[in-house]
Structure 1
Amino acid sequence: MSAGELVFHEKQRLELCAIHALNNVLQERVFTKETADDICKRLAPQCVVNPHRSMLGTGNYDVNVIMAALQSRDLAAVWWDKRRTVDSLHIAKVQGFILNVPSRVSLGPVFFPVRRRHWLAVRQVHGQFYNLDSKLKSPACIGGDAQLRIFLGEQLSQDVAEMLLVVRRDVEEDGSWLNPDTHAANGADGTA
């Protein structure tokens, strides 16, 4: 059995890519549509039409749901400022990555000239980083740190791509997700 076969990987269903990205980055099935819907209700208890998910009830959860879900696991989501280079990441302090990227819309083998937003996860498993995009048939091995930086740089080069770092709360609080060299050069908060 190869390392790729030992990697937890949920595949795309409905518009549940946020749930799949969460479970894939955690490497276990923790969240379901029901738990995500409960988070939506907690985030907007008075709303008839919840702003954190699709009106059709098929998913399409926003970043607030992802952040609240991670907080329930004593983790944090740190928004990555794309003005920084991925070389300033202290990869060893990051548990995983959740990216929001443009995605082609298809119906079976037919692709439409429309792009939607899609959540995907990247995580290190057995010493290798994997693209755990729920739209992939299986996990795609990215490689080590250098290959990860190239992959993330390519993803973030898209105008509308965004990235969240999944870190422990103490790592979020002390900012140690930034490379120590970058941290010292730019000041305590990592800004120039």
Structure 2
Amino acid sequence: MLLSTTREDHLIAWLAALAIAIHVLEAALPSPIPGVKPGLANVITVLALLLYGWRVAVWVSLLRVLAGSLLVGSFLSPTFLLSLTGALASLAALGLATAVAGRHLSALGLCVLAALAHMLGQFLVAYTLIIPHPALLKLLPVLLTAALLFGLASGTIARMMYPQRPPAAP
């Protein structure tokens, strides 16, 4: 029995593959602070949101986390839990922002929002479940600053990639 696929299925698969490739490449980068990565796969999620809507962005983001964790060997580990929590927090913030502000937020603004939500979601899980120590709170300003800087960088990339014309329907 063959499964029929739609144009949207192919689009999601292509965008997810791109985000997964970026995710795997970022996993290989050294980090001065554990868990802090540039988050360039977020560019793909934000572009998917802007071009094709929240549903496509959710699929791309969740497939990236799942397949990316399988490829780098972190599936069902604390790293996977943090990545999934960050993605869910980011998606929730993006969904809320687009519901409230509609198309008035730029790619740059959405990337910064997503990066900050991602980091905050990860931090809350790390603090609650993994390292419930008050000293961890001292890292929060550093982590949020890194998220802001990386959000600005990914937002700049997304802004350069976002076309001025509306896309064709998936």
From the two aligned structures, give the one with the greater strand fraction.
1
Report which of the two structures shows the higher radius of gyration computed on alpha carbons: 1
Could you state the TM-score of these two structures normalised by the residue count of structure 2?
A: 0.28
TM-score (norm 1): 0.26
The answer to which structure has the higher helix fraction is 2
